[in-house]
Structure 1
Amino acid sequence: MDWFSSLPDELLPNILSFLSTKEAVQTCILSKQWRDAWTFLPVLKFNVADFWVDESFEDDKFNNFLSGVLDNRKPGKLDMFEYTNAIMNYDSKISCASIDRVGLQPRKAVVIVGRDRVDLLDYPEFIFSCTKLEKLKLFMWTAVGLPIFIRPEVVHLPALKFVDLTGVALDDDNIFTQNLCSKCPVLETMVLQRCGLRITEISSKVLKELTIYRCSQARRTRICCPALASLFIESYEEMEGFELKNMTSLKYANISLDLNDNHGDLNLISSLSNVSHLSLGLGPSFKVKLEKDISECNTTFRYLRTLEIFNWYLSYGIDLVACFLKHSPFLEELTFHLCEPEEDDPEEEISQEELGNRIDVLFQREHLKTLRIVKPMERPDLVVDRLMNNLRNHIKTIDEEIIMCET
């Protein structure tokens, strides 16, 4: 008797869940014990590429396999559902209709759809009405690279806690966008990557983590999430900007923007008054608007302990830093991530007179424990030392000074 034959029958489906569903079904020929093991699979993984052989593909073969698996699968717990259709430059006739008719209820779902034309995109709509779904990852793209609108007939996800959308267009008039938060009453984490944002507001009373990464933006967006504890926004495309409201629970914020030059005032800084860790990535327009925003801000950042600034050019001067120091009496750690030298001014010297104008502001700091400068390998040490010396002269106490190179 081989080792596998001695295993309990109920353990076999868990072993098969590490395989693709096609591979799991093929184990039915091993023995009588394995014949029906795949019908109890807790994980279903369908990948169109598994049926692509020698640059040819039979649509009917995949569709029949999909229907056969779903028709013969025994009712039971479904931990994960994965569907991948990412064969470009092929006019397939694959349909997700057989998936939508079976009433699957997975706890987690991953859907990856990439085609060369929008009209070929096909995704299983059942995932948007799964009452047991807790985690959803949806990746969509076409050859032209534009975000894709999804228009499910129903959106009802009462158990959803985590959603990760890539390449999806979000519009105020779209039913999916309208119900993304309202029909997901326990949604705690939302990740938007390379999405197209045409929404005026992201509003939720329960959302705790929000990530907006490399998204395009057609209109100014208000973020109103009183339970939000972590906010990450990064985009170096021109954006219309964000307005933060009711962010009383926010503790960690990481914001890097390249704003449209016509963008108005930020009104961003005052909503970050409760953060303990703040990271800022400075595009030129974002830096200018931040300086104006914080200089007009009457808020004191009493909880701010760590300030990290990315994309810092020495030619920027220290106005922004001085403003933060003025409004952050208990700041403990300050970190600069320096950019590579500018071609027209490789040393980017900062004059003593410029820093001296801010001596009254900088000298107030009593609690700064660490001053850290992270520099590219190409930046001369002499230039970095000059910056460190100037800051050292005008900050009353620095317990630890660190200069390190990026690898």
Structure 2
Amino acid sequence: MATRRDGGRRREGLTAEENSGGDWLSTLPDEILHNVLSFLPAHEAVRTCLLSRRWRNLWRSAPVLRIRHRWVGVERFNKFVNNLLLLRDPVPLDELEFQTYTYWPTKMPRPCIYEVKYAELWIRHALMCKARVLRVLVQSEHLAPLELSMPLISKHLTTLQLRSVKLDNHALDFSNCPVLEDLQMNCLEDLELESCKISTDKMVSQSLKHLCVTRCNFEMSTRISVPGLISLRLDDNYGSIPLLESMPLLVTASVKFGTFSWGCWKCIYHPGTCVRCDGDPDGDGGVKCKFFRGLSNAANLELVAEAGMCILKQDLTWCPHIQQTLLLDGWVVGHNFHALGCFLQQTPILEKLTLQLCKGHEDVVEIEESSSSMGQLVRFENLERVEVGCLRNDEWVQKVFKILNTCGVSPDKITIQSEKFRDQADD
């Protein structure tokens, strides 16, 4: 009998040969097995409890949860996530990612919206578990996105990613997230989904270093106050153009204005009278905040837009002082040559200039009339390379070449690529 008890103890051990006949994976430390579980969706990680006694409770202390909506209905999905979080061990959570959706069933006799009604509760639970990374990825098909109004409070959160989420004043005040460094708000480009909606007059963070806002809807002129920002990307957003406060540490900025972007209407029709954009005209020391002013310290800047310069023409006096690389789309060059002059006057130490021209011969007359002012522009001492991309127009190419020569740019530093030249090369 003693021998049989000893044999039973050996079978309950963790040695591969004795316990599972060659299950070497189960002999690994918990840290490695937790790392394996971190790559699995949460419902698959839970199913590993059926593998063996060794795996029975490992999922309860996994530091990463990736919750994916793979259920027949929202009710079952809500029940699974609630039970998952309740049964999990009270240990720190490194990352929570949940992908879900709200949708409008087309076969319902009358409108009925299925919602993930516990989203804020799940987020609050993750923050209480000291989550460092939080990803809320919603697919909202033809409906309003998931609304979040709760303030985020965490001393551990460093990365936040949001998709198809509507945020108000409380949700975009990150004053209580002192170590938050990376914020991403976006929408999937290849799906017909609702974008993130920013419905607040101010976004605040003293710690944020990287901000990426892509295909989002600014429902009002949101003032962005992120003085520690290093990189900024605003890509193809629509609605009101945000107002940028000073960002003295900014290194790289990429901005693409969408077709349906607009600036402050009061500034467009009555420049200099908007207290919000220009501060108090009587000089009470109010914070001044315009778009280009916030980019004034960027070393590398890329500006692209599908709309005209009328959006930001009132802001040209605050063109950025670019130090290394500058890319300007045709909306700057083709529609208003004075705008290009404003940029060039602020970039005497520029190293690389790229011009992407979207207009052809219809703008040549305007450039020819403006070329007399080129003598007022600075001469580039450090400029190493100029790249110009334009349409197939010989006269247009010659005008641009002449303008750059006026700025002191030698011909050997200029590369002009037009559709005509590319077509000839292909032939």
Fold conserved between structures, TM > 0.5 = yes
Per the alignment, in what secondary structure is the counterpart of residue 357 of structure 1? Answer: helix
Alpha-carbon distance, 1:76 to partner: 4.0
Give per-residue Cα distances to partners, 1:32-80, cap 9 Å, x unaligned: 444444444333333341x44xxxx5955x6665566556544545433
What is the match of residue 344 of structure 2?
Answer: 325
Q: Distance in 2 between matches of 1:331 and 1:254?
A: 17
Alignment of 1:104-123 (within 5 A): 117=113, 119=115, 121-123=117-119
**Residue number among 380, 390, 393 corresponding to 1:365 in the alignment:** 380
Q: Distance in 1 between matches of 2:29 and 2:329?
A: 55
* Letter of the 2:209 counterpart: K
Task: Work out whether 1:400 is the aligned partner of 2:413.
Answer: yes
What is the match of residue 128 of structure 1?
Answer: 124
What is the match of residue 265 of structure 2?
Answer: 262
Q: TM-score under structure 2 normalisation?
A: 0.70
* Letter of the 2:208 counterpart: L
Distance 1:405 1:123, change over 3 A: farther
Per the alignment, in what secondary structure is the counterpart of residue 22 of structure 2? Answer: coil
Alpha-carbon distance, 1:372 to partner: 0.7
* Letter of the 1:293 counterpart: D
1:155 touches 1:176 (CA, 8 Å); kept in 2? yes
Give per-residue Cα distances to partners, 1:86-129, cap 9 Å, x unaligned: 374569xxxxxxxxxxxxxxxxxxxxxxx972655442514236
Q: Distance in 1 between matches of 2:185 and 2:85?
A: 31
Task: Work out whether 1:42 is the aligned partner of 2:42.
Answer: no
Give per-residue Cα distances to partners, 1:207-239, cap 9 Å, x unaligned: 222223222223222222222222222345342
Give per-residue Cα distances to partners, 1:140-181, cap 9 Å, x unaligned: 3533343442244x6421211222222222333xx434xx31
Q: Distance in 1 between matches of 2:218 and 2:201?
A: 10
Distance 1:116 1:230, change over 3 A: farther
| Runs of 5+ unmatched residues, structure 2 | 1-20, 187-194, 272-276, 278-289, 423-427
**Residue number among 185, 194, 208 corresponding to 1:192 in the alignment:** 185
What is the match of residue 161 of structure 1?
Answer: 158
Q: TM-score under structure 1 normalisation?
A: 0.73
Please identify which structure carries the higher strand content. 1
- Percent sequence identity is 26
Alpha-carbon distance, 1:84 to partner: 3.2
Task: Work out whether 1:150 is the aligned partner of 2:148.
Answer: yes
* Letter of the 1:262 counterpart: W
Please identify, of 34-43 and 204-213, the stretch whose mean Cα deviation from structure 2 is larger.
34-43
What is the match of residue 2 of structure 1?
Answer: 22
Please identify, of 209-218 and 73-82, the stretch whose mean Cα deviation from structure 2 is larger.
73-82
Task: Work out whether 1:79 is the aligned partner of 2:94.
Answer: yes
Per the alignment, in what secondary structure is the counterpart of residue 160 of structure 1? Answer: coil
2:297 touches 2:320 (CA, 8 Å); kept in 1? no
Q: Distance in 1 between matches of 2:369 and 2:385?
A: 23
Distance 1:3 1:349, change over 3 A: same
2:379 touches 2:407 (CA, 8 Å); kept in 1? yes
What is the match of residue 246 of structure 1?
Answer: 246
Per the alignment, in what secondary structure is the counterpart of residue 184 of structure 2? Answer: strand
Per the alignment, in what secondary structure is the counterpart of residue 269 of structure 1? Answer: helix
CA RMSD of aligned residues (A): 3.6
Alpha-carbon distance, 1:6 to partner: 6.8
1:290 touches 1:320 (CA, 8 Å); kept in 2? no
Please identify, of 229-238 and 31-40, the stretch whose mean Cα deviation from structure 2 is larger.
31-40
What is the match of residue 176 of structure 2?
Answer: 183
What is the match of residue 170 of structure 1?
Answer: 167
Per the alignment, in what secondary structure is the counterpart of residue 371 of structure 1? Answer: strand
Alpha-carbon distance, 1:353 to partner: 3.0
Task: Work out whether 1:350 is the aligned partner of 2:350.
Answer: no
Q: Distance in 2 between matches of 1:139 and 1:215?
A: 14
What is the match of residue 5 of structure 2?
Answer: none
Give per-residue Cα distances to partners, 1:308-348, cap 9 Å, x unaligned: 11354864252211121122221221111233x5xxxx643
Distance 1:157 1:404, change over 3 A: farther
Q: Distance in 2 between matches of 1:21 and 1:218?
A: 35
Please identify, of 250-259 and 67-76, the stretch whose mean Cα deviation from structure 2 is larger.
67-76
Task: Work out whether 1:386 is the aligned partner of 2:398.
Answer: yes
Per the alignment, in what secondary structure is the counterpart of residue 348 of structure 1? Answer: helix
Bigger radius of gyration among the two: 2
2:103 touches 2:142 (CA, 8 Å); kept in 1? no
| Runs of 5+ unmatched residues, structure 1 | 92-114
Alignment of 1:302-341 (within 5 A): 304-312=323-331, 315-339=334-358
Alpha-carbon distance, 1:273 to partner: 2.8
Q: Distance in 1 between matches of 2:66 and 2:38?
A: 9
**Residue number among 293, 305, 310 corresponding to 1:288 in the alignment:** 310
Q: Distance in 1 between matches of 2:252 and 2:298?
A: 6
Q: Distance in 2 between matches of 1:75 and 1:337?
A: 55
What is the match of residue 110 of structure 1?
Answer: none
Task: Work out whether 1:274 is the aligned partner of 2:297.
Answer: yes
Per the alignment, in what secondary structure is the counterpart of residue 24 of structure 1? Answer: helix
Alpha-carbon distance, 1:135 to partner: 1.7
Per the alignment, in what secondary structure is the counterpart of residue 181 of structure 1? Answer: coil
Per the alignment, in what secondary structure is the counterpart of residue 356 of structure 2? Answer: strand
Distance 1:259 1:122, change over 3 A: same
1:168 touches 1:196 (CA, 8 Å); kept in 2? yes
Distance 1:26 1:83, change over 3 A: same
* Letter of the 2:303 counterpart: L
